[in-house]
Structure 1
């Protein structure tokens, strides 16, 4: 599956906003969402679904993962969906031969959220740290 297949085509004539990095608004939303994302990640691991939760951040409609935080309902910029390493391999986003390499770079899910960020220009993985629990 190609990344392009995950994204709908942009409607023509849609106004482009001033070019500010989408990561600025993403960081703000991840800060807001962090506790909820952490809870879902822990649930995925405790229930034995996967040891490697992956969260998808997007502003369109994507066909991977389960919706957990809807930007329209929360009046934010990014929607978050929960997925797993296994689903990413199954859908061909992570090549099965590269799974071990991915796992080497995968950070401890108790400390970092693994986020697959999808923007019109492409997609990439980032690791966003959770704030230490007090």
Structure 2
């Protein structure tokens, strides 16, 4: 699988986008703040949030689905970890297609039948609240 092109996959939209979107509106502010902190503290300019319905090893658990009444667990990570774990072999190509982290959240969906990146825009009202 080519994971250097983080464009949204049509297969993802139908099967997963509903549950991911339902979760995302509840936690978008938390993810946006985590993205900002990852960048501000110098960890990476390319924060990523692996999501999975079970436990997995990429990143650190940020939001547990059980405690937050969500469908997915949310983990915090960044580009260098993906490269170190050999999950991505062309990071320069990925950087070119990576979307503005102030406007989009980079999710890495991990499921039995599907694994890929998804860029989802932060809700505008929350973005405006954070910048006012």
* TM-score exceeds 0.5: yes
Instruction: Give yes or no for the alignment of 1:128 onto 2:125.
Output: no
1:57-72 equivalent positions in 2, closer than 5 A: 57-72=51-66
**Aligned equivalents of 2:116, 2:15: Cα separation in 1:** 14
**Aligned equivalents of 2:19, 2:120: Cα separation in 1:** 14
1:62-101 equivalent positions in 2, closer than 5 A: 62-95=56-89, 98-101=90-93
Structure of higher RCO (CA pairs closer than 8 Å, 6+ residues apart)? 2
Runs of 4+ with >3 A deviation = none
**Structure 2 counterpart of 1:56, from 40, 50, 70:** 50
> The residue matched to 1:45 in structure 2 has which SS?
helix
Larger Rg: 1
Give the gaps of 5 or more residues in structure 1. 1-19
Count of residues in correspondence between the two structures: 113
Q: Which has the higher helix share?
A: 2
Normalising by the residue count of structure 1, what TM-score does the alignment of the two structures yield? Answer: 0.81
CA distances 1:41-68 after superposition (whole Å, capped 9, x unpaired): 0000000011100001110110010111
> The residue matched to 1:51 in structure 2 has which SS?
coil
**Structure 1 counterpart of 2:21, from 16, 21, 27:** 27
> The residue matched to 2:58 in structure 1 has which SS?
coil
Normalising by the residue count of structure 2, what TM-score does the alignment of the two structures yield? Answer: 0.82
